[in-house]
């Protein structure tokens, strides 16, 4: 028996995202297309903590292990054949000092952008949108960056100037990183934030598609509008708060709001957006493993990133999806 054989299973060895190479030094990111990094910070939640354990859970939520192929059977390509994707490790958080952690995250994302790679950030609570979207916007020029924000919560609240995971969009707009007119929100529902925050957002030019609209029109029609609303922008940041999905399918999150998207709707939508639009940054946030059940939320977040990579691969190659033909 060869005890020195390489790990081939998903449950042994170090977990990087989809077993991609671990590249911690930003100087070694040259030539990398996508760098996946974790932001294990959750001090800014307003309800249940736990999202600091999100990045590790998302990396582990994968049963495939080492494979030569990641053939996406309903698209007809392997995203890792097209894109050079690495795992850039985690931000080293400073427990109890989230502002300092935010500063470090902004530096880390800035370095990824400077290397020419697209950052995909695994959260972490949604307050990290301020440093990570801000870093991408600063790198490219704020006027050119659009933000598509999937969430059950608008996260643009005025909370007497306080920072928390319900205020990052307010900070981004107020500091001029992203223009309100370049922000589109999808999946909002429930009872927060108050009407005064919608009035502010309307004045800033935000657009939003409530879950109620999605019930009536269907997700595909709504996303067609979202793509149109982002047209003309050179760079788009995709922010996915996992609580946009119904808590029946994504219970592992801190502020669950009933009545959300189906997992398949989110996955198909992320793939479609990443094919249609120039994605220059992405985050998947608010995965809180302590409340998860059978890892379903972490699995969904993992596949959400994978679908973005598949969509970016389609865009890069100019290919249309070719479904593996049925054998009937």
Task: Choose between 243 and 265: whose C-beta lies nearer to Mn ion.
Answer: 243
14: tokens are 């170090």
Tell me the closest approach of the beta carbon of residue 127 to Mn ion, in angstroms.
9
Task: Choose between 70 and 291: whose C-beta lies nearer to Mn ion.
Answer: 291
Task: Choose between 187 and 311: whose C-beta lies nearer to Mn ion.
Answer: 187
94 secondary structure, DSSP code: -
Under the rule (CB under 5 A), what is the footprint of Mn ion? 126, 151-153, 155, 241, 243
* Contact of 257 with 190, CB cutoff 8 Å: yes
174 secondary structure, DSSP code: H
Task: Choose between 155 and 307: whose C-beta lies nearer to Mn ion.
Answer: 155
Alpha carbon distance 218, 261 (integer Å)? 10
Task: Choose between 119 and 254: whose C-beta lies nearer to Mn ion.
Answer: 254
Alpha carbon distance 266, 152 (integer Å)? 13
- Strand 34-39 to 118-123 pairing: parallel
Q: Nearest Cα to 269, choosing from 300, 248, 293, 296?
A: 300
Tell me the closest approach of the beta carbon of residue 286 to Mn ion, in angstroms.
6
Tell me the closest approach of the beta carbon of residue 308 to Mn ion, in angstroms.
18
Alpha carbon distance 74, 232 (integer Å)? 29
* Direct distance between the N- and C-terminal alpha carbons of the chain, in angstroms, rounded to an integer: 43
Backbone angles phi, psi at 132, to 5 degrees: -80, -40
**Can you give the three-state secondary structure of 126-173, one letter per residue?**
HHHHHHHHHHHHHHHCHHHEEEEEECCCCCCCCCCCCCCCCCHHHHHH
Task: Choose between 165 and 271: whose C-beta lies nearer to Mn ion.
Answer: 165
Task: Choose between 42 and 155: whose C-beta lies nearer to Mn ion.
Answer: 155
Tell me the closest approach of the beta carbon of residue 284 to Mn ion, in angstroms.
11
């Amino acid at each position: 028996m060869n005890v020195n054989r390489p790990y081939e299973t998903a449950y042994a060895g170090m977990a990087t995202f989809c077993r991609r190479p671990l590249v911690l030094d930003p100087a070694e990111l040259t030539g990398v297309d996508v760098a996946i990094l974790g932001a294990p910070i959750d001090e800014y939640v307003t309800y249940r903590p736990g999202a600091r354990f999100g990045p590790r859970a998302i990396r582990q939520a994968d049963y495939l292990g080492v494979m030569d192929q990641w053939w996406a059977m309903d698209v007809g390509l392997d995203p890792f054949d097209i894109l050079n994707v690495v795992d850039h490790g985690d931000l080293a958080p400073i427990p109890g000092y989230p502002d300092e952690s935010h500063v470090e995250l902004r530096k880390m994302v800035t370095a990824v952008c400077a290397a020419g790679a697209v950052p995909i950030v695994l959260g972490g609570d949604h307050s990290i949108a301020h440093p990570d979207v801000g870093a991408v916007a600063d790198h490219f020029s704020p006027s050119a960056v659009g933000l598509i924000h999937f969430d059950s919560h608008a996260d643009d609240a005025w909370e007497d100037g306080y920072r928390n995971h319900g205020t990052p969009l307010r900070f981004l707009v107020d500091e001029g990183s992203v223009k309100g007119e370049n922000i589109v929100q999808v999946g909002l529902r429930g009872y927060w934030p108050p009407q005064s925050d919608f009035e502010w957002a309307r004045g800033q030019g935000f657009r939003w598609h409530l879950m109620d609209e999605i019930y009536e029109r269907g997700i595909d029609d709504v996303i067609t509008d979202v793509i149109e609303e982002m047209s003309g922008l050179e760079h788009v940041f995709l922010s996915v708060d996992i609580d946009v999905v119904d808590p029946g399918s994504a219970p592992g999150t801190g502020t669950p709001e009933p009545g959300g998207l189906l997992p398949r709707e989110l996955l198909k939508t992320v793939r479609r957006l990443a094919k249609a639009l120039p994605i220059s940054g992405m985050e998947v946030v608010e995965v809180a493993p302590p409340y998860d059940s059978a890892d379903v939320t972490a699995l969904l977040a993992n596949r959400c990133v994978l679908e973005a990579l598949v969509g970016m691969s389609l865009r890069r190659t100019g290919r249309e999806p070719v479904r593996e033909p049925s054998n009937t």
